[in-house]
Structure 1
Amino acid sequence: METKDKLSFDRIAKAIEYLQAHFRLQPNLNEVARQVHLSPSHFQRLFTEWAGTSPKKFLQYISVEHAKAILQQQEGSTLFDATFETGLSSTSRLHDLFVNIEGMTPAEYKNGGKNLIINYSWAESPFGHVLVASTQKGICYMEFHQEEESAVEMLMAKYPKASFNKKMDDMQRNALIIFQKDWSQLSKVKLHLKGTDFQLKVWESLLKIPMGKLSTYGRIAEQIGNPKASRAVGTAVGNNPVAFLIPCHRVIQSSGVFGGYMWGTDRKTAIIGWEGVKVAQ
């Protein structure tokens, strides 16, 4: 029997893609199972092992109407500050409180990581494989990839003058705990990022969107004091170098449509639904 750890995310992603494309028709278990070439009972078991809930319940978290409902619930609130201070009472949202950003120095930013020693490792997550890398100060890179070799090449291209070690360190282990259900042992996660002042400001704002909640590019622009900068905010969100830890997946279009994602729209949909399930539990 396949377990949650061994289950291919590609199979789940295909099912989620079908659910998202046909949510208005509310497809039943048999219809979705047929899309991934499994019996209904087998698919139900595998999906529940991955998501912690049934495909039918998961569908509620990934529909456009659900996204709109979340946005409407936040209307009139101080989207970031108030929800960040009062909306993190449950254990399932603790990790939002434990992430902070330290920008690289101007010299580190300009010289391509010269004098930096970067450890990296290839790990599993509920959403596919991920390459995570860290400096002495914190996590500097975490991205979803299909192949380790190409992932490492992209990391090295981002820091062309750094020294690299294939090594799992404590910073990486702690960061990867966020993919587990129990964050009670999570220490503070520090990020050491290469970005402009504007990018860092946008990324810090993303950290204030609680798990299970969504925001829009326009609202983030307002939060950072530049309400006309929605397009620039979108670019900064798209340049996020740390998947999931900096939750750019929680930013959607003002219409309620989930929109694009650097690591695939199916993966974004899966993450939003997965987080919604965890908050509801």
Structure 2
Amino acid sequence: MKSQDEINFERITEAINYIHSNFKLQPSLDNIAEKVNLSPFHFQKLFSDWAGTTPKKFLQYISISYAKKLLKEDQVSLFETALETGLSGTGRLHDLFVNIEGMTPGEYKNGGSNLDINYNFANTPFGKIIVASTSKGICHLAFFDDENLALQNIKNKFPLANYTEFITDEQQNATAIFNNDWSNLNQIKLHLKGTEFQLKVWETLLKIPMGKLTTYGNMAKQIQNPNASRAVGTAIGDNPVAFLIPCHRIIQSSGALGGYHWGSNRKTAMLGWEAANCEALV
């Protein structure tokens, strides 16, 4: 006899396959719930617990992935893209892109052609970084070993943006966090592009005090999605702004430090440096 977990897993698998196969029809919550023989209420809760997002959001992610392919690879018009994706018009396509990608479909199609990005290289106690900003705030900060590759990683996101190597006040504010004097730091504005789930995870990371640690499981609980530890881990791994968004303060529930996008040795050094500096302030 199958356990309840096995039954639930099969239902979620069936629901995901159904959404993948029928996203162009934009099925409603009721349609999908009926397919797996659950009430809409119970299906919504079950799906959110297992997938780390709601059925509606999952449908949006599938839809926007297809729309992005049409816009970028097939060079289809916005109106044709909307209809091909199962949306009623360009208005719904616009809302989908703004909510999920943080940009309009036209901006995505143009590859950031109207976006001005200033970037700069700097030294920190943990190695060299590249920091980039727009008029809205810091959009990228990463440690690197190869300067050319570091810049190319940004350009891959917005291949048609205008790039200038220039130090802005916003960048100086960001790199000042690596100084020992944290009593005189200015507010740092961020310009982030991510899904609603990613933004929620990154916002929660910002609430972890310097010198403190938490786990993936605790993060999932804080965003009120206790079974989404794996999805939380993926969102943390996609963090575009190193150190400022402190994904290095996340450890495994066993107490092991776990991996880090920019190297486990760097993570260990960061945590030790923060702990030492916090003790010095006491």
| TM-score, normalised relative to structure 1 | 0.61
Q: Deviation digits for residues 132-190 of structure 1, max 9, x if unmatched?
A: 00000000000000121111011111222311101111000010000001123321101
* Structure 1 match to 2:176: 177
Distance 1:145-1:163 versus aligned 2 partners, 3 A rule: same
Q: Deviation digits for residues 184-233 of structure 1, max 9, x if unmatched?
A: 33211010011111000000000000011001111111111111110000
* Structure 2 match to 1:272: 271
**Counterpart check, 1:115 vs 2:114:** yes
Distance 1:114-1:246 versus aligned 2 partners, 3 A rule: same
- Give 1:268 deviation, angstroms: 0.4
Distance 1:172-1:197 versus aligned 2 partners, 3 A rule: same
Identify unmatched segments of 5+ residues in structure 2: 1-99
What SS is found at the alignment partner of 1:192? coil
* Structure 1 match to 2:123: 124
CA distance in 1, matches of 2:262, 2:120: 18
**Counterpart check, 1:240 vs 2:239:** yes
What SS is found at the alignment partner of 1:168? coil
Query: Contact 1:116–1:163 at 8 Å: present in 2 too?
Result: yes
Amino acid at match of 1:117: D
CA distance in 1, matches of 2:224, 2:129: 33
The structure number with the bigger radius of gyration is: 2
Amino acid at match of 1:236: A
CA distance in 2, matches of 1:113, 1:193: 14
* Structure 2 match to 1:149: 148
- Give 1:104 deviation, angstroms: 6.9
CA distance in 2, matches of 1:184, 1:213: 18
CA distance in 2, matches of 1:168, 1:146: 20
* Structure 2 match to 1:203: 202
CA distance in 2, matches of 1:115, 1:162: 6
Q: Tell me which of 103, 107, 110 is aligned to 1:106.
A: 103
Higher RCO (Cα < 8 Å, 6 or more apart): 1
Amino acid at match of 2:102: T
What SS is found at the alignment partner of 1:208? coil
CA distance in 1, matches of 2:249, 2:130: 21
Structure 1 range deviating more: 204-213 or 106-115: 106-115
* Structure 2 match to 1:21: none
What SS is found at the alignment partner of 2:118? strand
* Structure 2 match to 1:27: none
Query: Contact 2:102–2:194 at 8 Å: present in 1 too?
Result: no
* Structure 2 match to 1:262: 261
What SS is found at the alignment partner of 2:278? helix
Query: Contact 1:133–1:140 at 8 Å: present in 2 too?
Result: yes
CA distance in 1, matches of 2:248, 2:135: 27
Cα-Cα RMSD: 1.5
| TM-score, normalised relative to structure 2 | 0.61
What SS is found at the alignment partner of 1:140? strand
Query: Contact 2:101–2:195 at 8 Å: present in 1 too?
Result: no
Task: Give identity over the alignment, percent.
Answer: 58
Query: Contact 1:252–1:259 at 8 Å: present in 2 too?
Result: yes
**Higher fraction of helix:** 2
Structure 1 runs (4+) deviating above 4 angstroms are none
Query: Contact 2:129–2:141 at 8 Å: present in 1 too?
Result: yes
* Structure 2 match to 1:249: 248
Structure 1 range deviating more: 113-122 or 167-176: 113-122
Q: Deviation digits for residues 91-148 of structure 1, max 9, x if unmatched?
A: xxxxxxxxxxxx9733178444342110000100000000000000000000000121
Amino acid at match of 1:165: T
Query: Contact 1:221–1:230 at 8 Å: present in 2 too?
Result: yes
Number of residue pairs the alignment of both structures matches: 179
Identify unmatched segments of 5+ residues in structure 1: 1-102
